[in-house]
Structure 1
Amino acid sequence: MEDLAPGEHLVEATHDDYQEATAVASVEAGKQAVLQLRLAPIERAPGRVIVNADVAKARVFVDNEDQGEAPVVVSEIPAGTHAIRVIAPGRQEFRTTCNTAPGQDCEINAVLAVEGTPVRIEANISGAQFYLNDDLIGPVPWEGELPIGSHRFEIRAEDYRPHSEVIALRSSDEVRVLSFTLVGFDQLTPEEERALERERQIAIRSATSHSAAVLPSDLAILDIGLGYLPMAHMKLGVGIMKYLEAGFAFHTMGRLNQFELSAKAGVQPLKQLSVGGRLTLGGGLGPKRASEPDTPVLGGGVAGAEGEHKTNSFYLGLDAIGTIHFNRAGAVSLWVAMDYHSDRWDWAGDNRSMLHAPLGEEARQNLVRGRIGGALEFTLNKRLNIWGTFEGVLGKERRIYGNVFLKPDKGRFDPQIYTMLGITLKFGSLWDEEELE
């Protein structure tokens, strides 16, 4: 520098990349002063890589190393160019590069575009409109790209019930075709029809023949049982209405063969409980028996002449039933009943070789009796149940039920306790167990 006044001067040197340096220079008149300044370089912190993303759970890779979910700050990284990659479910991959240097950070704000997949929308009617997540997309049929992920698809059309369902779309190069079926306001969708049929199939699987619940419509059952009394039992039952079933039965004990018509009405207010009532009307015939002149008569004396004796019966019963159901495993039922019996049996109740009354006198027995009983039923599979019943009677003995097994002249009266074991066979269109799950 020239033209400096003699004396001392403060000299200062600066540079962007170096520390500032100062020194004092003494200047004498007519002389040149030489001053040397040494600037030390500035030490800067290493540059950082900072990555942000516009979606949650976006994963960041720097130079192919997983750095975790955004936002990410990578501090310990060499200066230079770095490869940045950001990925997220349902989004297109984001790639870029950036440079770092001492004191120079690299900040990236990644915007991940939604990943799409080709879709075609079809419907069973014309003029329908396609909505995605409540936004109108366009008329059906429609074809284009939709974002992958779960979305609510809805098809609407005038005079038809809207069809709505949530569908998950996955990335694919192939066009996914989605077909929707719309039905009128007074119709059921195929899914609703299947759901109703599934409920009916569960009811069929759970159906029991002795419970208060009526058989499902169109289901037919066949009961087969052995016991005492009667000794053999066979019944055909069918559900004819929602709250009504009908039955036809045959009972036999050798001495008397009975045919029976029945109607049962019931409701099931709870899944585990049903109540109902049953009306039974029946009658039967048995083999005729002959008496000899020396056949004894109850109370003394003998018949005195030959005779022929008919065997027949008529009865009417009314039962009140309550049942506890164990899902699809079975049921326990209890009932109370009143029965009217009119039996033609001319023989004594405990001795089938002795006439109850002399020839020519009326020997028909008319009785009104109470009855209490119960049944335990198990559903083994979709077509087979097993069951057992137990009943006790309040009232007089039926002579026709007396002295069945023992010697003709030595037996017991009507036991008034009846038991039976049997099976129930179910007939109809029944699903496999896997289809009910």
Structure 2
Amino acid sequence: LRATGRGTLTVVADVEGALITIDGEVAGRSPVTVDDLGAGEHLVEASAPGHEHVTYTVAIEAGGRRALRVELPEEARPPGRLVIRGATPGASATIDGEARGALPLVLADLASGPHAIVVEAEGFETLRTTCEVQPGEDCVIEADLSGMPANVVVRALGVSGAEVWLDGARIGPVPFEGELPSGSHRLEVRAEGYESHVEQVMLGHAAEPRVFDLDLQRVQEGPTEEERLAEVERRESEASGAVTHGAAPLPVGLAAVDASVGWPYLAEARVGVGLLDFLDAGFAMRTFGRLTEFEARSRIGFRPIELLGVGGQVRLGGGVGPDDVNSWFISIEGLTSLYFGGHGAVTLWLALDLHTDQYAYAETDSSVMLANAGRQDMARFRLGGSLEWAIDRNWALFGNLEGILASSGGGRRVYGDILDIGNSDTQFYFRLGGTYKF
């Protein structure tokens, strides 16, 4: 039991800022003085980061003053480690004159204090350094050794005026004899009128020089390097500006895949490839559930001037669906395009479509079967337009709008009541999609 009366306690820790609690309640940070403390015994605790937690029992007399000095021992820390890292082939380390093996090394058995370190590898310069190991800490050494230079001889048999290049930098004329940096390098020998010799080589220091005796081949007659580069640049420019719905066909060898959504066909995929300067061809598949169509197409066209294209396209195919739904069609289209350099195009087309559909249901109610419903044969004139934007060499976006100008038999019944919404053939269609060119 504590006596009546009050006293004062001052606590000073050997670690400034140590947290002091008295009887489980925080009194403050050292040094701290607590007045009006009840007479009797009290439990004093002190703690600080990196130090052990300590506890004292202190007796306070009524009206008295008491000072307590608290010592907080440092926490015991694990021994420090020496870490030696490096990717040099065959590198090994010696610590304080004792061989410790190949890299990488992690040593936890060293005494605290400085240590002498030597890292060696055949054909590389030796690394000598020191590292001080401290408790609870890693001493890390990055031991990437510099290779000793390699002696190299380069000769081009029967060729004059040749030059040696290393990693894209000119070294000197051939024949060459001298020192080159060790390691993996791109060695190239160039000579006007000859095919360049290019080789990835691993060079290292050795007693004897590394000899390269090269037999360069004469360049065959044909376009110059500048002409070849210009042709590649031209083809890349054509590919970047190519569009799949324009009047001009795709460039020779360029393939493109379109994927789009729209109305009445909810999804469509098209593939095309350039065959000749004036001709491309392709295949398409589209569906809205009731009818899935497959189409083959061919387009011819040209660009009389850079900004203008004219052409024509023939599309033919057919479709199938549940409940004996099927169709056949052929379309003939004339196209005119206005090109925006390599950024895209606006295209207009006028088309004649010939359809024959087998669909035995009402146009606005697909649940109502028509009596004696035969095939619906019709011819329609269609006007459409496309806006295409070339994002880069491989990607483009497009949007298409089309409408029926005239029809021999009204709307196509198979285009009615799509998604069970009771619609008739809207005779107005659209598509939004993207193109990937490769």
TM-score of the aligned structures, taking structure 1 as reference length: 0.50
1:398 aligns with 2:415: no
Alpha-carbon displacement from aligned partner over 1:282-340 (angstroms, at most 9, x marks no partner): 1010011xxxxxxxxxxxxxxxxxxxxx1000000011011111111111111000000
Give the structure 2 partner of residue 207 of structure 1.
242
Give the structure 2 partner of residue 294 of structure 1.
none
1:219 aligns with 2:237: no
Q: How many Å apart are 1:191 and its aligned residue?
A: 2.2
Give the structure 2 partner of residue 264 of structure 1.
299
Give the structure 2 partner of residue 345 of structure 1.
359
Q: Which amino acid aligns with 1:379?
A: A
Among 407, 420, 431, the residue aligned to 2:431:
420
Unaligned 5+ segments in structure 1 are: 1-123, 127-139, 144-171, 289-309, 428-437
CA distance in 1, matches of 2:238, 2:171: 45
Partner of 1:381, secondary structure, is coil
Give the structure 1 partner of residue 382 of structure 2.
371
Partner of 2:411, secondary structure, is coil
Q: Which amino acid aligns with 2:287?
A: T
Partner of 1:179, secondary structure, is coil
1:334 aligns with 2:345: no
Q: Which amino acid aligns with 2:322?
A: P
Alpha-carbon displacement from aligned partner over 1:317-367 (angstroms, at most 9, x marks no partner): 0110111111111111110000000000011111212223x2xx3521001
Give the structure 1 partner of residue 166 of structure 2.
none
1:324 aligns with 2:335: no
CA distance in 1, matches of 2:192, 2:223: 17
1:245 aligns with 2:280: yes
Partner of 1:353, secondary structure, is coil
Among 266, 273, 277, the residue aligned to 2:312:
277
CA distance in 1, matches of 2:316, 2:325: 18
Q: Which amino acid aligns with 1:223?
A: D
Unaligned 5+ segments in structure 2 are: 1-155, 163-169, 175-189, 195-217
**Structure 1 ranges of 4+ moved more than 3 A:** 140-143, 172-178, 180-185
Q: How many Å apart are 1:194 and its aligned residue?
A: 2.0
CA distance in 1, matches of 2:430, 2:257: 19
Partner of 2:419, secondary structure, is coil
Alpha-carbon displacement from aligned partner over 1:399-426 (angstroms, at most 9, x marks no partner): 100111345xxx2210000001000011
Correspondence list, 1:24-35, <5 A: none
Among 391, 395, 398, the residue aligned to 1:384:
395
Larger Rg: 1
Q: Which amino acid aligns with 1:197?
A: V
In structure 2, relative to structure 1, the CA distance for the partners of 1:196 and 1:416 (3 Å cut) is same
Q: How many Å apart are 1:268 and its aligned residue?
A: 1.3
Q: Is the 8 A contact 2:240 2:394 kept in 1?
A: yes
Q: Is the 8 A contact 2:161 2:191 kept in 1?
A: no
TM-score of the aligned structures, taking structure 2 as reference length: 0.50
Partner of 1:255, secondary structure, is coil
CA distance in 2, matches of 1:173, 1:245: 49
CA distance in 2, matches of 1:222, 1:369: 28
Q: Is the 8 A contact 1:388 1:419 kept in 2?
A: yes
CA distance in 2, matches of 1:142, 1:385: 48
Q: How many Å apart are 1:200 and its aligned residue?
A: 0.8
In structure 2, relative to structure 1, the CA distance for the partners of 1:174 and 1:254 (3 Å cut) is closer
Partner of 2:286, secondary structure, is strand
Q: How many Å apart are 1:270 and its aligned residue?
A: 1.3
Give the structure 1 partner of residue 101 of structure 2.
none
CA distance in 1, matches of 2:219, 2:227: 11
Correspondence list, 1:125-136, <5 A: none
In structure 2, relative to structure 1, the CA distance for the partners of 1:173 and 1:223 (3 Å cut) is closer
CA distance in 1, matches of 2:313, 2:272: 13
Q: How many Å apart are 1:391 and its aligned residue?
A: 0.2
Partner of 1:203, secondary structure, is helix
Alpha-carbon displacement from aligned partner over 1:351-385 (angstroms, at most 9, x marks no partner): 212223x2xx3521001000000000111121110
In structure 2, relative to structure 1, the CA distance for the partners of 1:391 and 1:179 (3 Å cut) is same
Alpha-carbon displacement from aligned partner over 1:157-187 (angstroms, at most 9, x marks no partner): xxxxxxxxxxxxxxx99769862468777x3
| Aligned-residue identity in percent | 35
Partner of 2:290, secondary structure, is coil
Q: Which amino acid aligns with 1:381?
A: D
In structure 2, relative to structure 1, the CA distance for the partners of 1:184 and 1:174 (3 Å cut) is closer
Give the structure 2 partner of residue 106 of structure 1.
none
Alpha-carbon displacement from aligned partner over 1:126-147 (angstroms, at most 9, x marks no partner): 9xxxxxxxxxxxxx9579xxxx
Q: Which amino acid aligns with 1:341?
A: H
In structure 2, relative to structure 1, the CA distance for the partners of 1:398 and 1:190 (3 Å cut) is same
CA distance in 2, matches of 1:189, 1:224: 40
Correspondence list, 1:108-147, <5 A: 141=160
Q: Is the 8 A contact 2:161 2:192 kept in 1?
A: no
CA distance in 2, matches of 1:198, 1:391: 36
Give the structure 1 partner of residue 328 of structure 2.
314
Give the structure 1 partner of residue 114 of structure 2.
none
Tell me the C-alpha RMSD between the 2 structures.
2.6
Q: Is the 8 A contact 1:183 1:189 kept in 2?
A: no
Q: Which amino acid aligns with 1:239?
A: G
CA distance in 2, matches of 1:338, 1:250: 20
